[in-house]
Amino acid sequence: MKGNYFAMSKNKAVFLDRDGTINREVNYLSSINDFKFLPRTIDALKLLSSTGYKIIIITNQSGIARGYFDKKKLIGIHKKMCDDLVAKGVRIDGIYYCPHHPDENCGCRKPGIDMLKRAEKDFCLNLQQSYMIGDTTTDIKTGMNAGCKTILVRTGYAGEDGRYTVKPDHTASDLFEAVKIIVRENETKENIVKV
């Protein structure tokens, strides 16, 4: 029918930092043997998988530029991580990483937002309705730069990296509590719409 157009609805995402948020923080994780999920991470991601949010990991990996490990090793770590999560009923929609050294001043290294902008395009996202969760002020600054809501988790660096003076929208003890905040806020919005 002429004039019958449907606007493409945009998706929402939860962007997750990796080290210190999903898994135990070890400087320059280079071996799958050193990869350990933080407590309640799998429960958190299972709960998040039951929502309509895309689950996207956003991680700085300058260990590649520093020569500590190569892209093949990083991809192997991510494959094992995803295989373990899928086996537990978890959905991961995307992983974006920055391989550059901080001195390269690239746009993809957090708090730059090129990784989020790529995900925005790949998944047709509304960044303003999305969340960024991480354990550092860099993660919070990244979310703010992209226009996302932000949640600081008190695992990993627990926001004590001292890089930026930022105020997250929420603070949570861990990823599980952060996801519960998102679910609760989403339910509140749905109830407002129903009324």
Q: What is the CATH number of the domain that holds 98?
A: 3.40.50.1000
Report the distance separating Cα 131 and Cα 143, nearest Å: 7
In a domain, 121, yes or no: yes
In the structure, how many helices (H) and strands (E) does the chain have?
A: 5, 6
Q: What is the pLDDT of residues 4-49, one digit of tens each?
A: 434 456 899 999 999 999 999 998 999 999 999 999 999 999 999 9
Phi, psi of 119 (to 5 degrees): -65, -40
Domain presence at residue 13: no
Asked if residue 163 belongs to a domain, the reply is yes
> Quick one: pLDDT at residue 2?
44
Residue 1 lies in a domain: no
Structural domain tally of the chain?
1
For residue 3, the model assigns a pLDDT of 44
Tell which residue, 153, 32, 38, has the closest CA to residue 81: 32
Residues 6+ apart with CB under 8 A from 24: 35, 36, 37, 38
145 domain-assigned? no
68 within domain boundaries:
yes
Catalytic center residues? 17, 19
DSSP 22: T
Domain span at residue 43 reads 21-128+155-194
138 within domain boundaries: no
Task: Say what the pTM is.
Answer: 0.91
* Amino acid identity for residue 174 in this structure: D
Q: 74 in a domain, yes or no?
A: yes
Confidence check: pLDDT of 195 > 50: no
